[in-house]
Amino acid sequence: MTAKKRTAILISGRGSNMRALIEAAGASDYPAEIVGVFSSRADAPGLQTAAEAGLPAETLAPADYPDRPAYDAAVQEILEGWRAELVCLAGYMRLLSDRFVVGWPGRIVNVHPSLLPAFKGLNVHQRVLEACVPITGATVHFVTPELDAGPPLIQAAVPVLAGDTPDTLAARVLAAEHRIYPKALEWLASGTVRLEGGRVVRDGAAGTPPAPLFWPPLEG
C-alpha cells in the first residue's frame, strides 16, 4: 500500500465530523492518517476527543493576532510542523484568508449541511424549511477563496419530512455528513477524486466506474 496521506483537521467546536474521520482512519487499509487537530477555540470539546485518540492538538487565540492573514500564517506553521498534506475543515468557524486557501490547491475540503450550491452560508436548516424544498442534504466540497463555492467532491441527499424542525432536520443531515466525510477523504487521499484546473476529476480503479457524486449512489 502507498504511504497514507498525512491529514490535519481544523475544528472550532465538538468535532463530531472529526470523530468520524478519526474512526475511519483507524482502519489499516484507509489511505489517510490523521496527524493533528487544530482548534480556533481553546474550549472546543473536540480537543478532548483528539486527546483521547492520542493525536497532537493545538489551539491559538484569534485575539492574539492583528488580522486573519497573520492568524492563518500561524496555523500554517502548525500544519507544516505536522507535515500535513491534506486539510479537513470539520466545524471550523473561521473564514480562511485567500493566501491560506490558495496555498492548499485541491488539498483542503469542508463539509456543509446542504446540497451546494443551494443554501450557502449560515442558518441552513431554517432556510431550507422556509423554502419548502422536499430534499436537502450534505456536501463535502473543495475549499476555494469564495465561501461555500468550491466544487462538490461528494454529496448525500436527505428528505425533508413533514413536521421537521431545524433541529430534527439538522440531526439527520449531520448523520449524512458523518457518512460521506470519511468517504470523501478516502477518495481524496487515494487520488480517486481530485481537483484539476478548477474541475473535479473522478477516476475508478481498473475495471470499475468512476467515483459517484452522491453517496450512496442514487438509483436509476
pLDDT for 54 equals: 98
Query: Which is nearest to 8 in space by CA: 42, 47, 37, 45?
Result: 37
Secondary structure class of 49 (helix, strand, coil): helix
Q: Which residues contact 94 (CB under 8 A, 6 or more apart)?
A: 12, 40, 62, 68, 71
Domain ranges of the chain: 5-194
* CA atoms of 21 and 188, how far apart (whole Å): 13
| Residues 103 and 76: beta-carbon distance below 8 Å | yes
Say whether 141 is catalytic: no
Query: Which is nearest to 89 in space by CA: 13, 174, 203, 168?
Result: 13
pLDDT for 220 equals: 56
Whether residue 209 has pLDDT greater than 90 = no
pLDDT for 106 equals: 97
CA distances from 39 to 10, 15, 61 (A): 6, 10, 9
pLDDT for 2 equals: 81
Average pLDDT taken over every residue of the chain: 96
Catalytic residue from among 112, 125, 141, 178? 112
Cell, residue 101 = 486557501
Average pLDDT over residues 110-123: 98
Cell, residue 76 = 500554517
Q: For 5-194, which CATH superfamily applies?
A: Formyl transferase, N-terminal domain (3.40.50.170)
| Residues 8 and 79: beta-carbon distance below 8 Å | yes
* 172, HSE (Cβ side, Cα atoms, 13 Å): 15
| Residues 86 and 5: beta-carbon distance below 8 Å | yes
Report the predicted TM-score, pTM, of the whole model to 2 decimal places.
Answer: 0.96
Give the model confidence (pLDDT) of 60-84 as tens digits: 999 999 999 999 999 999 999 999 9
* CA atoms of 46 and 75, how far apart (whole Å): 17
Secondary structure class of 135 (helix, strand, coil): strand
